[in-house]
Chains A and B, each alone.
Chain A
């Protein structure tokens, strides 16, 4: 009896250990480092890094589409901006009995998801795919950008929208201003971590396998009876949700929502982060955005002209020769190739 229990406990432990992959170990290290940084340094790094983590979530929202579902979107900034402006407008105008920042975050994430679900259903249900879809998402970015520019009495137009730093509250008992950088840092980390874990878990579930199945062979999945447009719409909606969430938090962190948050250039910056980080790896995309954004910040101060050029050349090199990006590089270096390679082998 006892032996049985021990044995089954041991088995389930082994199952758990087998379920954990090297990527999870890497993720553990990444998040541990992120959690330790404010203990080691202070000042500008602690201020700016949460924004880059949110860019990481934005890149993750694209990697989910690109690497797993085989859908390329040039419209991620549109959802990000919807989240950012929703946050700003809710915090500015809503007189609510509860903390308006919480409502703003929810509305921002839901807004991003709603725009993505509507656009996704509209296009996927008609079988719009591949490059046509890219052009449509490109238009989405421009539509959102132009909209926030032109309704300036609501959105502040070109000047952008000022957004307050949120305050953390828990009923009437507890209140913490996030005006200081370190508390804000940890609040964002505490939201980013479950977002990452949740997406990874979802992609390992049945839903994730169906999504990958659609990427590999859409017609076969259709023939097997899966409602392909519905699944594509759902994954696109999830991607919009993540991007909207990142946008809402970004607005309150940066104190600002701006039309360029929606623009084509920002949308394509997300594509670059994801490509450099590794389009097939959720962790790779997350880390890629943080690394490239940090480098960009640093090199923009040192050599503003040549940094953009360098980024363009690196992007070309990644597309041509290093399709798996930083994640692929890490895999080669730390040699977990066999299994993972088989899994991703034929991915486009």
Chain B
């Protein structure tokens, strides 16, 4: 019983944290088809900015928001000067975003050093579920993850901007002919994806120690979240993919050690990729 409750609680928390971490990638990959290999570096940047701002006396919440905005701004600059010229060449955007990772990681090392940094958790302690105690901060993050995804869903399905974005995905040329400013929408989507990556990085910073490669752990798992969930299936897909990757890892880790569980999950993800390249969740 205790194990069951703890596994369920852990699975839910891991699913939601992973969904938050993968969301920025899912937005950029799903809406404008860019494989953002720089996603991990954007998470790391968000964590470092948050660390720096809180070190300089800013409270955690405005610190994270400011950090996310800064990463969004970096993303916009990168899009404006480089990525936007390569939208029709997916391999090149992949290479360029990887180059972004390389450059950003080196800049982080030069500016912030390579030591491990810690961001103090704003909510210490735990939530008592009777038989099992869940860390309070993780629970707050899980709640935020749901809020962020629901908020994006509302924008996507209930606002004019959402209609425009959906029109753009369905038929880019037609949407452009009808007067939508496609270039601006791409920029907006890329910037928002970078903002989300920065936000996720800042929010997960108190859970891990911050180092220049912290985003890498999430990069490949985020890809699998997106692929297993289905590209373009932003909301349900991201949640389902996170559940599949994070949940499986938690459950498999019960029977074997963590690393073997991760290997098994990657194997399963590659098999899914072969048999359901549209994602498990996609109707096609």
Interface residues of A (CB under 8 A from B): 72, 122-123, 126-128, 130-132, 134-136, 138-140, 142-143, 146-147, 149-150, 264, 268, 271, 275, 305-306, 308-309, 311-313, 315-316, 319-320, 348
Contact = CB atoms under 8 A, between A and B. Distances in A.
B275 interface: yes
Interface in B230-284: 257, 259-260, 262-263, 266-267, 269-270, 273-275, 277
Interface residues of B, number: 37
Given A264-B216, A275-B95, A305-B109, A316 B103 contact: yes
A122 B274 contact: yes
Nearest to A268: B98
B26 to A, nearest CB: 14
Given A128-B274, A139-B224, A311-B102, A320 B96 contact: yes
Nearest to A119: B270
Contacts of B92: 319
Contact of B35 (A126, A128, A135): A135
A308 B106 contact: yes
10 contacts: A126-B275, A128-B273, A130-B90, A135-B224, A146-B266, A264-B216, A275-B95, A316-B96, A316-B99, A319-B99
Nearest to B96: A319
Contacts of B260: 150
Contacts of B223: 135, 138
Contact of A142 (B89, B99, B220, B257): B220
Given A135-B35, A147-B263, A149-B259, A309 B99 contact: no
A327 to B, nearest CB: 17
Given A139-B224, A146-B262, A150-B260, A134 B106 contact: no
Contacts of A271: 95, 98
Contact of B107 (A122, A309, A320): A309
For B95, B103, B224, the residue with the greatest tally of chain A CB atoms inside 10 Å of its CB is B95
A34 B102 CA distance: 31
Contacts of A135: 35, 223-224, 227, 273
Interface in B87-122: 89-92, 94-96, 98-99, 102-103, 105-107, 109-110
A-B pairs with the 5 shortest C-beta distances? Answer: A312-B102, A312-B103, A309-B106, A150-B259, A316-B99
Contacts of A268: 98
Contacts of A316: 82, 96, 99, 103
Given A146-B259, A319-B95, A139 B103 contact: no
Given A139-B220, A312-B106, A132 B277 contact: yes
A84 to B, nearest CB: 19
Contacts of A72: 91, 94
B91 A123 contact: no
A309 B101 CA distance: 10
A348 B274 CA distance: 25
For A127, A139, A268, the residue with the greatest tally of chain B CB atoms inside 10 Å of its CB is A139
For B89, B91, B257, the residue with the greatest tally of chain A CB atoms inside 10 Å of its CB is B91
Interface string B29-66: 00000010000000000000000000000000000000
For B92, B94, B109, B260, the residue with the greatest tally of chain A CB atoms inside 10 Å of its CB is B94
A134 B263 contact: no
Contact of B270 (A136, A311, A319): A136
Given A312-B99, A312-B103, A150 B263 contact: yes
Contacts of B270: 123, 136, 139-140
